[in-house]
Amino acid sequence: MTAPTQVAYLGPIYSYSYLASLEHFGHTAEYVPVNTIAAVFDAIQSGLANYGVVPLENSTDGRIVDTLNILARADIKISAEINYSIHHNLIANCELSEIREVYSKPQALSQCRNWIDHNLPGVAVCGAASSAEAAEMISQADSAGDGSGAAAIASTAAAEHFGVTIIATSIQDKANNLTRFAVLGSDSRSATGDDKTLLLLELDHCPGALADVMIVFKTEDINLTWIESFPRPNAANEYVFFIEFVGHQLDEAVQRAIVGLQRYSRAVRVLGTYPRATVTGVPTI
């Protein structure tokens, strides 16, 4: 019997990382929850998991620093991306007017800041390790009889799993609140005709260095989809660049571009090449 695919993710169960992982790998995989993004990378390197799923960026809050910090150093490839639509709900087992505290992961609270200020003025906002943990906290507090006035921001799946009532749906400030996840794993993917490649570039700290590499992409008619500067590990006031673009690593234009980039860069590293993902996680109406 073939062993199930093991997938490490930022837990606990019914976190958004879990839901994105489930959307990508399905119910036949074995899911390994861990407590930090670093632990997802560790799970792959130690052989505890075949793949890992980590958040890369959010359309509201931007880049995920913990992920980029490790990607800049770790020898792990990205084999796929997941574009997961994040819809936050206010959940509680009391009326809206009775809510005195709201719990969730800081990123979820940030993505619902305006809604909270408008609908729950003066309510205490409290951080939790994850949105799913916040939902579980509310459920346990209600069971103990001391949860009156407490609410959480979490997914529909978390609310259903922990038996907490949804008071308000899709309360995120931006309707198109999207988190892009990276699937970590060393699978080499054949070209599909609709692929993207992610590079890490280390450039000389001098005028025009970034402009030179941009000309390489223009010359090869390669369209960029994401560029992010990030502090170079263990180097003060120097930066590396994450650059993602349309095309497969084995495309002739991409291979020419990589050769050209090497002429202008201290180092060029391919972090992954993968099919362009569609948006998942959109709730049905």
User: What's the pLDDT at 283?
Assistant: 56
DSSP state of 277: P
User: What's the pLDDT at 282?
Assistant: 64
Pick the closest to residue 8 from 37, 58, 43, 57 (CA basis): 43
Cβ pair 279, 178 in contact under 8 A = yes
195-275: what CATH class? alpha beta
User: What's the pLDDT at 285?
Assistant: 34
Cβ pair 205, 129 in contact under 8 A = no
Q: Indicate the pLDDT class of residue 128, thresholds 50, 70 and 90.
A: very high
CA distance 60 to 174: 7
Question: Domain spanning 6-85+177-186 has what CATH number?
Answer: 3.40.190.10
Find tokens 């180092």 and name the residue.
267
Q: Is it true that 6-85+177-186 and 89-168 share their CATH fold?
A: yes
CA distance 201 to 266: 8
Cβ pair 179, 155 in contact under 8 A = no
Domain segments of the chain as ranges: 6-85+177-186, 89-168, 195-275
Report the run of H or E that residue 65 belongs to, with start and end.
Answer: helix 65-71
Cβ pair 212, 261 in contact under 8 A = no
**Residues 227-261: tens digit of each pLDDT:** 999 988 777 778 899 999 999 999 999 999 999 99
User: What's the pLDDT at 182?
Assistant: 97
CA distance 190 to 249: 9
Mean pLDDT value across residues 199-203: 94
DSSP state of 175: T
User: What is the model's pTM?
Assistant: 0.91
Question: Domain spanning 89-168 has what CATH number?
Answer: 3.40.190.10
Indicate whether 163 pLDDT > 90. Answer: yes
Q: Indicate the pLDDT class of residue 39, thresholds 50, 70 and 90.
A: very high
Mean pLDDT value across residues 121-144: 88
